[in-house]
Homo-oligomer: A and B are copies of this chain.
Amino acid sequence: MKRLVECVPNFSEGRRREVVDAIAAAIAAVPEAKVLDIEMDADHNRSVITFIVTPERAVEAAFAGARKAVELIDMEKHRGEHPRLGAMDVCPFVPTFGVTMEEAVAMARSLGERIGKELQVPVYYYEAAATRPERKNLPDVRKGEYEGLKAEIATNPERKPDAGPAVMHPTAGAFVIGARPPLIAFNVNLATSDLHLAKQIAKAVRERDGGLPAVRALGMDLRDRGIVQVSMNLVDYTRTPPHVAFLAVKAEAAKRGVEIVGSEIVGLLPLAAVVAAMEGMLAVEKFAVDQILETRLWE
């Protein structure tokens, strides 16, 4: 089976379609890279490009996007609601089947080195690629945004970049590069219209309040359907996969006398999470992904 990395760079341009298209085209021009999705947000003045690529070409493809962004985006003129530090504001590598987090971290660091050296842009590593605990979370790294960081990057040792010059690029700012597991958006619908109850269950299962690791959860009202939902982001499915989150919500609902009416997976998820659901729910003792017939032509 072909090994793949997902890469989800965010760029500080959400209004000029031709700029975003040019960045996506630069990425797609790298062999073995395939752009899956482009989302632009005019209010945030920001876009997100999702692509998949083999590990061998991952750094090259992300670098092609970064270089084009440096060429076309001017942070001195950028305004938008979303916090940002630079032209390629954030770039996470997301391992999928057969790729380890260690490899994804190595890609992030290699990309950062290259960007620092060849494009003269300061780079910070975040999430699994972070070099110190206080840089793990993106909001901490992005503190003060472009304007704030510009004022102190050269003088405040705490803001010294991990790679590249300790001075803002005059137009492209600074980039944040890292590695993280794929995020799975997973919602479980309850046979009740009681929003309070959905909120209670969300609280019981989410990590912040002592629930499952790597689970974020909120109670939501689905007015059209007259029911409520526990809306979850599973930020590390290797720690809490969808079926474990499902069982936890189901158990909490049962405690309160409420049944599950269904669930939804929004957007993409890795094959490993689908396989984990089968293995977990059917107590499968040994299973290799290449037992799935279709993976055999994937090489």
Contact = CB atoms under 8 A, between A and B. Distances in A.
Interface in A274-294: 274-275, 277-278, 281-287, 291-294
A101 to B, nearest CB: 16
A3 B182 CA distance: 26
A297 B284 CA distance: 27
Contacts of A198: none
| Interface SS of chain A | mixed
Nearest to A288: B265
Nearest to A54: B297
Interface string A27-42: 0000000101000000
Given A243-B282, A287-B265, A292 B274 contact: yes
A258 interface: no
A22 interface: no
Contacts of A246: 282-283
Given A2-B294, A270-B292, 12 more contacts: A182-B293, A242-B282, A243-B281, A243-B282, A260-B283, A262-B284, A267-B291, A269-B292, A269-B293, A278-B278, A281-B281, A297-B298
30 contacts: A2-B294, A2-B297, A4-B293, A4-B297, A34-B296, A34-B297, A36-B296, A52-B293, A52-B296, A96-B293, A189-B285, A242-B282, A243-B278, A243-B281, A246-B283, A262-B284, A263-B283, A263-B284, A265-B284, A269-B292, A270-B292, A270-B294, A271-B292, A271-B293, A271-B295, A274-B275, A278-B278, A278-B281, A281-B281, A294-B298
Query: Which are the 9 A-B pairs with shortest beta-carbon distances?
Result: A281-B281, A277-B278, A262-B285, A271-B294, A262-B283, A246-B282, A268-B293, A271-B292, A274-B278
